Amino acid sequence: MRFWKAWFDIRQRFVLCFVLVTLLVAPETVSVAVSSAQAGAVAEAAGANVEEGTLEAAEAYARMVGSWSGGDYHSVFSILAIVLAVGGILSTGNARSNLMTLSLPAKRGRWLSAQATVAGLLLLILCAWEAFIVIATGWGAGLDVPEGQLLLAIALTSISGAIWVWPAILSTSFTRESVRAALIIVSVFVMMEAVLGATPTQAFNPSSIADLSGWREGVPWPGLLVGVVMGGGSAWWSLARFRRMEF
């Protein structure tokens, strides 16, 4: 029943994210479809080799996937994190309903682990849905979609994104922790930007490692300091509260 309740708590946010992902992915997929159709039409009219047009479309498609995994994809997760964290705050109800839950004979860690597991599964479904849209669009445009590579690229990017979206999902039952999770996420971003000149998604994504030429000269102390203070403070606060089970 803990898992059922976790799904119950998360489901509205999941549906919201599902719609959000679809909407965010749609413009990209439409542009791929259009470019592939145009390329095909031009090639045929010129009597040129049709494969050339397909190749161009495939390149556009690859650029799109590349832009996702290397540059833009993290923005999807940023929005997801915000939606999930804010959704958590808004839909949590109040502290007293938490009190009712906490009065049940189950350890707090078990509530959280059920929440984390269900949230993780739903995140995978979201990622799979994105992959499905991209692949389906590619097929619809008559492209030779490298499904295996594509899935791998999306999976790696998704996992790296999930690493920092996860705290927001995990915290959905507990208002204060949602705020803390949001603080941790922001501080991780600040630190990563400060040190690497890249977001966590870019930094952890193998396909974009090559682009991490932005190692900065010298250490940007102000950004690093802000990140350390925010992240350290939030983490300490969370741990202290968790240990005392006060929320």
Partner 1 sequence: MSRTLIDATGLAKSYGDCLALKPLDWRVEAGSITGVLGPNGAGKTTLAKLIMGITHPSEGSISVLGRKVGGDPVAIRAAVGFVPEDKLLYDEMTVGDFIHFYGSFFSTWDSAAASNLLEKWSIPLKPRIKELSKGSRAKLVLGAVLCRKPTILLLDEPTIDLDPTSAEEVLSLVAQWVSNGERSVVITTHRLEEVERICDQVLFLLAGEPVLQADLDDLRAGWKLVRATGSALPVSETQRWEGVRRVESGPGWIALTVDGGVNQVTSRLRDLGATDVTVEGVSLREVYLTLTDYERGRLDEVLEGVV
Name the residues that contact partner 1, by CB under 8 A.
1, 4-5, 8, 12, 93-94, 96-97, 99-100, 102-107, 244-246
Nearer to partner 1, 94 or 213 (CB): 94
CA torsion sign for 115, 118, 124, 127 is: negative
Q: Which of 189, 173, 175, 179 is nearest to 226 (CA)?
A: 189
Residue 244 beta carbon to partner 1: minimum distance, rounded to whole angstroms: 6
- 3-class DSSP assignment, residue 137: helix
Cα-only R_g, the chain: 21
Nearer to partner 1, 107 or 216 (CB): 107
Residue 246 beta carbon to partner 1: minimum distance, rounded to whole angstroms: 5
| 32, 57 Cβ separation under 8 angstroms | yes
- 3-class DSSP assignment, residue 220: coil
Q: Half-sphere exposure (CA, 13 Å, Cβ side) for 193?
A: 12
Nearer to partner 1, 5 or 133 (CB): 5
Residue 134 one-letter amino acid: V
Residue 97 beta carbon to partner 1: minimum distance, rounded to whole angstroms: 4
Residue 203's φ and ψ, nearest 5 degrees, are -65, -40
Residue 104 beta carbon to partner 1: minimum distance, rounded to whole angstroms: 5
Residue 173 one-letter amino acid: S
Nearer to partner 1, 31 or 117 (CB): 117
Nearer to partner 1, 41 or 245 (CB): 245
Residue 105 beta carbon to partner 1: minimum distance, rounded to whole angstroms: 4
